[in-house]
Amino acid sequence: MNQPRPAKKPAPPLNAERLRQLALHYVGKYATTQSKLAGYLTRKIRERGWEDERSADIAGLTEQFTSLGYINDAQFADARSRSFVRRGFGGRRLNEDLRASGIGDADAINAKAHMDDSIFTAAENFARRKRLGPFAQEAAAPEKRNKQLNAFLRAGHGFELAKRFVYAEPGDEISED
């Protein structure tokens, strides 16, 4: 017969050292931002409680990790930009992702510049991945083209660029001009 497993013992409340170990584990496992790390640590304190006489210094810990080079918001933003171009997402989608990740404007400058320089490549990658326009097997019906256009827009591309790809015939060459 299967015996029911005993209930897991709850994790002990956090103190300054346990919080630091938790943060080290998190930044070692995930590429993250100051904002995401602060949110994670706040959630863990809320879940497990706090037992130290001093209050938790999450802002100080994230600043320390930044100065040590464990967290770099600008590098995170650059990596997201390169990833979004490869996956075919546009500038609006990148801006929303960076905002949600807590990346400030100063740290996002290079990432946004990279996206601006690569917007055509991103749109081409999206069309290729979804087999739209010049990468389709056959021309799409008008209703299907509307759906494809909406997909392009949801991916964060501008209307004019999306229209160029969606309304291209299969096999057409689209230039970047």
User: Mean per-residue pLDDT for 109-123?
Assistant: 97
C-alpha pair distances (Å), 99 with each of 31, 64, 103, 129: 16, 22, 6, 26
- Give pLDDT, residue 8: 83
- Distance between CA atoms of 34 and 107, rounded to whole angstroms? 12
Q: Buried (b) or exposed (e) across 99-129, using 16+ Cβ within 10 A?
A: eebbbeeebbeebbebbeebbbebbbbbbee
N residues, the chain: 177
- Give pLDDT, residue 3: 80
Residue-wise pLDDT tens digits, 123-158? 999 999 999 999 999 999 999 999 999 999 999 999
The answer to whether residue 95 scores a pLDDT higher than 80 is yes
Q: What is the DSSP letter of 50?
A: B
Q: What are phi and psi of 66, to 5 degrees?
A: -70, -45
The answer to whether residue 177 scores a pLDDT higher than 80 is no
Say what percent of the chain tops pLDDT 70. 99
Say what percent of the chain tops pLDDT 90. 89
The answer to whether residue 91 scores a pLDDT higher than 70 is yes
**pLDDT band at 86, cuts 50/70/90?**
very high
C-alpha pair distances (Å), 30 with each of 56, 70, 103, 140: 22, 10, 16, 41
